[in-house]
Amino acid sequence: MVPAVSLAPSALPRPGQYVGGEWRNASGAGQETVLDPATGAPLGAVPNAGPADVAAAVAAARAASDAGGWAEATPRARSEALYRLADELSGMVARLLDVVVAETGCPVRLARSQQVELPLRHLEYWAEAARRPELTGRAPVVTPRPGGPATLGAWAVRREPYGVVAAITPYNFPLLENVMKLGPALAAGNTVVLKPSPYTPYSALLLAEAAERAGLPAGVLNVVTGGAEVGAALTRDARVDLVSFTGSDAVGAHILAAAAPRLTKVLLELGGKSALLVCADADLELAARIGARNITTHAGQGCVLATRHLVHASVLPEYLDRLAAAVTAVRVGPPRDPATGMGPLIRPAAVERVAGYVAGAVRDGAGVLTGGSAPTEPTGGFYYRPTVLTGVGNDWPVAREEIFGPVGVVIGFGSEDEAVALANDSAYGLAGHVVSRDAGRAFQLAGRLRTGTVDINGGPGYTNPDVPFGGRGRSGLGRENGAEGLDEYTQLKTIKFHGG
């Protein structure tokens, strides 16, 4: 087995706060130790921003917004600045990959495409999207006036930035999540204060380094590091015009409540408990591959992953056999080993949470088809074997709550109406999946699922930045990506005039 390789200290970004175009020492108490999930060893430490640091970052963003240089820059000028940022990041791909594998534990073969190349593709999309015209016209109208000349009237609709955006991001896909927020926010003319997860702060600090080299104006992008108290300070600050958060539904609810007294706009991309519907006519080999991928990808640490597998009773036994084979074929190991298919969870608490859910389900009568424990190899790190549970009810905690780990449950159904009812019987509504040889019927089923996205037979295999992404219910508010995602960061102003 290829041993885990520690991150070279030279690859780490400077552990400061990036505020107003300058690096500053943090004034907060203590620091966050950043761990390598593959070994449990510390990678380094990042200081906690104090209240003065958060206030300074918001003030810098506010000044950059109010001065108008960025908001009133031409779409082309903002586009060129974002392309410069993308170019800077493209020149540090090897370093980005080294850092993101170290801080997330994501296997290198997945990290290269999903953790590095995909965010760069998204950033280039936003650089081009920044060129969208800010003004659109409406048809002029002639209004007759009794005893006088008619009035020629017209309207122009202008999209304007909100101002200061507080972007709070999670640990699982840090560079991608950072780009999915700062990309549309900056493209629309807003300024940003970015607060990354304390588990994965390095990706955000590398973004700050790239922004400095790309010559983004001072205060347009600011980065502060720390724990929940830093995010809370951002959401409470009256100078923040929009809060964009990705994370758990519980934290999202707190952010929404904190923003409510000021009626601050909030965008929330939260959790999921997505269902995979395997129809009676499904290609079971394909279905099992999709099912295994949704359990094991990044150790189940993905909000869109389908962890409820709803399978037609007529094919349930064969699906279970194929799923067990597909899941057990995934190699659990150090993320820097190219043969590794699944790496560690982010922290020991995540392993304990997963183990607790599995133990509770077993006590309630669930069967363990695969996994159900930590592996004996590799030693060290925060690993848990990919687990499939059977004999589970759709009302059990393992079927209703987001575990955020490599655990899937399989539930049988007898009719498509029952499958749809089971899939929609959830507090979440982020994603869904349908596997059927009948594409038309699969499309009709997709339309009946109360979710923000649905993949049919595995989907297109590409996370397209031009396609809106988001959920319903406790999966969040608003949309990211696409023209719809850019719209979220703008306000409409109607300008009315007459020509005589």
pLDDT in tens, 444-483: 999 999 999 999 999 998 889 999 999 999 999 999 999 9
421: domain CATH number is: 3.40.309.10
Residue 372 lies in a domain: yes
Active site residue 402: no
Q: For residue 145, what pLDDT is reported?
A: 84
| pLDDT in the model for residue 4 | 39
The amino acid present at 244, given as its one-letter code, is S
**Closest by CA position to 168, among listed 78, 258, 71:** 258
**Quick check: is 469 in a domain?**
no
The pLDDT of residue 15: 85
Report whether pLDDT(99) > 80: yes
d(CA 267, CA 242): 8
CA angle 201, 18, 261 (to 5 degrees): 80
Residues 113 and 35 placed together within one structural domain of the fold: yes
Query: Is 230 part of any domain?
Result: yes
One domain, residues 319 and 260: no
Tokens (6 digits) for 353: 């949470």
Query: What is the residue-wise DSSP string for 361-402?
Result: HHHTT-EEEE--S--SSS-SS-----EEEES--TTSHHHHS-
Q: Tell me the pLDDT tens digit for each residue of 370-404.
A: 999 999 988 889 999 999 999 999 999 999 999 99
166 and 280, same structural domain?
Answer: no
Q: What is the pLDDT of residue 76?
A: 96
pLDDT band at 8; cut points 50, 70, 90: low
Report the SS3 class of residue 459: coil
Number of domains the chain contains: 2
Q: Looking at the structure, do residues 314 and 341 belong to the same domain, yes or no?
A: yes
Percent of all residues in the chain with a pLDDT value above 70, rounded to a whole number: 98
List, as one string, the DSSP characters of 3-48: PP-PPPGGGSPP-SEEETTEEE---SSSEEEEE-TTT--EEEEEEP
Do residues 238 and 114 share a domain? yes
| Domain co-membership, 296 together with 264 | no
Is 311 a member of any domain?
yes
Q: Cβ distance 448 to 420 under 8 Å?
A: yes
Per-residue pLDDT tens over the stretch 251-295: 999 999 999 999 999 999 999 999 999 999 999 999 999 999 999
- Mean pLDDT score, 334-351: 97
The pLDDT of residue 11: 85
Q: Is residue 471 part of a domain?
A: no
pLDDT confidence tier of residue 180, bands split at 50, 70 and 90: very high
Spacing of C-alpha 219 from chain mean position = 24
Do 429 and 490 lie in one domain? The reply is: no
Spatial distance between the Cα atoms of 319 and 435, rounded to a whole number of angstroms = 12
Mean per-residue pLDDT, 326-338: 97
> What pLDDT, on the 0 to 100 scale, is given for residue 201?
97
Is residue 26 domain-shared with residue 141, that is, in the same domain? yes
Tell me which H or E stretch contains 348: helix 348-363
Separation of alpha carbons 203 and 201, rounded Å: 6
Question: What does the mean pLDDT of the chain come to?
Answer: 95
Tokens of 313: 């009773």
Query: Could you tell me if 433 and 457 are in contact, meaning their C-beta atoms sit under 8 angstroms apart?
Result: no
User: Would 3 be classed as within a structural domain?
Assistant: no
The mean per-residue pLDDT over the stretch 355-364 comes to 98
Question: Looking at the domain assignment, is residue 315 inside a domain?
Answer: yes
How many residues are present in the chain? Answer: 500
Query: Would you place residue 223 in the very low, low, confident or very high pLDDT band (cuts 50, 70, 90)?
Result: very high
Check residue 3 and give its pLDDT.
37
Q: Give yes or no for residue 14 having a pLDDT over 60.
A: yes
Contacts of 266 (CB under 8 A, 6+ apart): 242, 243, 244, 245, 255, 256, 259, 477, 478
Query: Do 155 and 90 reside in the same domain of the chain?
Result: yes
Answer whether residue 6 shows pLDDT above 90.
no
Helices (H), 130-173: none
At 5, the pLDDT band (50, 70, 90 cuts) reads very low
**Greater model confidence, 344 or 380:** 344
Instruction: Compute the half-sphere exposure of residue 222: CA atoms within 13 Å on the CB side of its CA.
Output: 31
**pLDDT above 70 (res 9):** no
| Band of residue 500 on the pLDDT scale cut at 50, 70, 90 | low
**Inside any domain, residue 105:** yes
Using a pLDDT cut of 90, give the percent of the chain over it.
89
Same-domain check for residues 364 and 384: yes
Contact 243, 166 (CB under 8 A): yes
Kindly tell me if the per-residue pLDDT of 30 is higher than 90: no
**Reported pTM:** 0.94
pLDDT surpasses 70 at 338 = yes
Please check whether residues 205 and 285 belong to one and the same domain: no
The answer to whether residue 103 scores a pLDDT higher than 90 is yes
Please tell me whether residues 134 and 255 are part of one structural domain.
yes
CATH number at residue 142: 3.40.605.10
Domain that includes residue 450, residue range: 274-463
Of 103, 124, 269, 488, which one is the catalytic site residue? 269
Report pLDDT for 499: 72
